[in-house]
A and B are shown apart, each in its own frame.
Chain A
Amino acid sequence: MKKIVEIALGIVTSVGGFLEIGSITTAAQAGADFSLQLIWAIVLGGLCIIFLVEQAGRFAAVSGRTIPDAIRERFGFKYFSVLYLTLVVVSLLVLAAEIGGVCIALELATGIGLQWWALPATFVIWLVIWKGTFGVIEKGVSMLGLVTVCFIVGALMIHPPWDQVLRGAVPSLPQHDSAHYWFIAVSILGASISPYLFFFYSSGAIEDEWRETHVGINRVIATSGMSFGSLISIAVLILAAMIFAPQGIKIEHYSQLPQLLVPVFGHKGFWLLVASLGIACMGAAMEITLQIAYLTAQGFGWNWSENQRPLDEARFSFVYTIVLLLAALIVLTGIDPLSVTIFSMVLTAATLPVAIVPFLFLMNDGRYVRSYRNGWLSNAVVILIIGLAFVLAMVSIPLQIFGGS
C-alpha cells in the first residue's frame, strides 16, 4: 500500500511539475504554425527524457550520489567547470523565462504590467524555498500543477481529427517554411530534454532518501510521469493546431495564450490558463532555482538540502537567493518573456551534449551503480540520445538565425 501511494505521489509530482513556459510556448507555436505535424518532436523528447530521468533516479537510489556529484568525481574539475558554467548560464535564462511566465499570468489576471510583478513573484518563490521543505515544493506545488490537466480535457473536447494526430506522431518533412519547422522541432526538444529536469530528479531522489528498493518505483514514476507530462504538451499543441492554425494566426505575443482554452471552456478557460501558466511556471522556477543551487553545492562539496535550515547551509541558501535576484533583474529589463523562452530552449539544445555524455560512463560504472548497470538497450538509447544531442548542438544556433521568429 505504501509503495502504491509513493508511486501515485511520484507520478502526480512528475505530471504536475512537467509543464512550464518552455513546453507551453514551443507546443503552442508548433500547433499554430504547423498544425499537428510536430507531435513527433514532443513524442521523441518525451521518450528521451523518460530514459534519462529513469537513469538519473536509478543512479541516485543505488549509489546515494547525485549525477553532478559523480560528474565532478569521475570527470574532474575541468569538465565539471565547463558543465557548470554552461548549465548556470542557460538555467538562469530559463529561470528568467519561468518567472516571466508567472508575471504573464499575473498580468493577464490583473491587467498590471508584467514587469511590476517581477520582484513580488520572485520574492514569493524565494520565500517558499526559504521556509519550505523539499516535500512542500515537490509535492505541494506539483499537486496544484495538476490544473494543467485542463489542457488534456480541452484537447479531447475540441475533437481533433485523431487520424491526423496519430500521423503527427510520426516524423515528417515540412510542407513549407523548412527552416522554421526544424527550428520549432529543435526548440521542442530543448524544452523536453532539459538537463535541469534529470539533475533535479537525481537530487530529489537523495532528498527523498531513495534506496535500492526504490529502483522499481523509480522506473514506474519516470515512465508514467514523463509520459503523462508529454501528453499535456501534446494537448497544448492540439489546441493551438485546432484554434490558431486554421485561421493562420501566429503566436507572437503572450496575450494570445488564453485563446488556447477560451474557445473550449468559455470565460472559465481564461482563468484555467492563468492558473495553469502561473502555477506551472512557479513550480518550474522553484525547481530550476534549487537545481542551480544543488549543482553548485554538489560540485564544490558544500552542505545542501532543502530540508535543512538556511542557516545550516549558508552557501547553498546564498546561491539560490542570488540566482533568483539575477533572474528577476533579467525580467525587469523588460525583455519579452516569450523571446527569452524560445532562446533559452534553443540554447539548452545547443549545450545538451555536455550534460548527457557523462551518463554513458556513469550508468556503466560499477563503483556507483553496482549490479544496476545499464543493459544493452539503455546504453543503445543513451548513445542515440547523445547522437541526437550533438546534432541539436550543431543545428540549433543556425536554425535560430534562419528559422527563428
Chain B
Amino acid sequence: MDLFRDCLDKELEDRNHRRMGRVDGLILEVEDGRPPRVAYVEVGVKTLLDRLSRRLGSAAARQLKKFGIDTEPYRIPWGKLHFGLNVVHADVEAEKTPALEWELWLRKKVIGRIPGA
C-alpha cells in the first residue's frame, strides 16, 4: 500500500456509510530495530493545520482552547479500517466519536433553531 496515495486525505466513512471527515494524519509507531508500524489514522483540525505549518497549528489550537474548543485529534486504530477505492471505511459509529463534535454542536445550537431545518 502507498500510504500517502491510498490512505492520506481519503474520505472516511463509518460503519453506517456516513461521512465522518477525511484521513488528516497517519501515525507510525517507531521502535529501534523494527520496521515502523502503521498504528492510527487521525482526524482533526490541528492535524490539518500542522501540515501547513506547525506554528499555525499550535496557534490555532491555543486560540480555540480559549473558547473552550478541544482540538485534540481523534485517532482510529489501523485495525478498525478497511480500504475501498478512494474511501476508507472505519468500523466505528461516527456520531459517537469526536469526529462529528462540531456537526452535532451546530445541529443542536444553531441549525436546529432555525425554522424548517
Contacts and interface: CB of A to CB of B under 8 A. Distances in A.
Chains A and B in contact, CB within 8 Å: yes
Interface of A: 63, 65, 69-70, 72-74, 76-78, 80-81, 130-131, 300-304, 309-311, 314-315, 317-318, 367-368
B106 interface: yes
Contacts, number: 71
Interface stretch (B8-16, B32-40, B59-67): B8-16
Contact of B21 (A70, A78, A300, A367): A300
Given A73-B86, A315-B102, A310 B11 contact: no
Nearest to A63: B86
B8 A76 contact: yes
- Taking each of A63, A65, A81, A318, which has the highest tally of chain B beta carbons within 10 Å of its own beta carbon? A318
Chain B interface size, as a band, is 20 to 34
A318 B106 CA distance: 8
Contacts of B4: 76
B1 interface: no
Secondary structure call for the A interface: helix
Contact of A73 (B10, B24, B51, B107): B10
Nearest to B102: A315
Contacts of B26: none
A317 B111 contact: yes
Given A72-B9, A302-B19, A303-B18, A78 B117 contact: no
Interface in B16-72: 18-22, 24, 48, 51-52
A367 B85 contact: yes
B22 A72 contact: yes
B103 A76 contact: no
A131 B52 CA distance: 37
A76 B107 contact: no
B77 interface: no
Given A302-B103, A303-B103, 9 more contacts: A65-B86, A74-B5, A77-B24, A302-B21, A314-B111, A315-B103, A317-B111, A318-B106, A367-B86
Given A73-B9, A310-B114, A303 B19 contact: yes
